[in-house]
Structure 1
Amino acid sequence: MSARERGDDALAADPFSWQVTRAGVVRILRGGREVVVVGGPRAERLRAQLDRASEQEAQQLLARATGNYRRGNERR
């Protein structure tokens, strides 16, 4: 199993969720806890990408936005 497949499995088991506030800020949550808040132009870009993405692609985008994106070289 590749590192990418392991990362996809982890995202499926414990997915991110997100909320867009009235101010246009994107709140990214995981396990019911806020992980990161993205604002400004970065939030606009992320919202546009999330609108076009499948659920799996959205999870990858959210993982990248949080910095919680496995590269396959971390120890377990």
Structure 2
Amino acid sequence: MIAEAPFSYRSTKNGLVQIAYKDRVVTTLSGAEAAKFLSRVTSGDSDAAQLIMAKATGHFKHGNERMSKTGK
């Protein structure tokens, strides 16, 4: 799936979840959205967690994007 692990998250005491991309916070979830995120991310493996965080932040390939001719 994802070759590296660029996403990470931190849960705070007051119920917020901060999702970081390459150690920079890109989004913060709160309330029911944070609880749903935590239940989903802790139930899967690390590849699934990376995909969940990518979708939560909006940083993911949409599937209809073509690879370049050089294969990058």
TM-score by length of 1: 0.77
- Paired residue total: 67
Q: Which residue, 34, 51, 54 being the options, matches 1:60? A: 51
| Matches of 2:64 and 2:38, distance apart in 1 | 29
List gaps (5 residues or longer) in structure 2: none
Q: Give the 3 Å change call, closer, same or farther, for CA 57–47 of structure 1 in structure 2.
A: same
The structure number with the bigger radius of gyration is 2
Report what 2:33 is aligned to: 42
Q: Which residue, 23, 42, 57 being the options, matches 1:51? A: 42
Report what 1:5 is aligned to: none
- Letter paired with 2:50: Q
Moved over 4 A (4+): none
Please give the per-residue CA displacement for 1:39-72, whole angstroms capped at 9, x wherever unaligned.
1100000001111010000001001100112113
Q: Per chain length, whose mean CA-contact separation is higher, i.e. which structure has more relative contact order (CA < 8 Å, sep 6+)?
A: 1
Q: Any idea what SS the aligned residue of 2:13 has?
A: coil
Percent of pairs with identical residues: 33
Structure with a larger share of its residues in helix: 1
List gaps (5 residues or longer) in structure 1: 1-7
Q: Which residue, 15, 30, 46 being the options, matches 1:24? A: 15
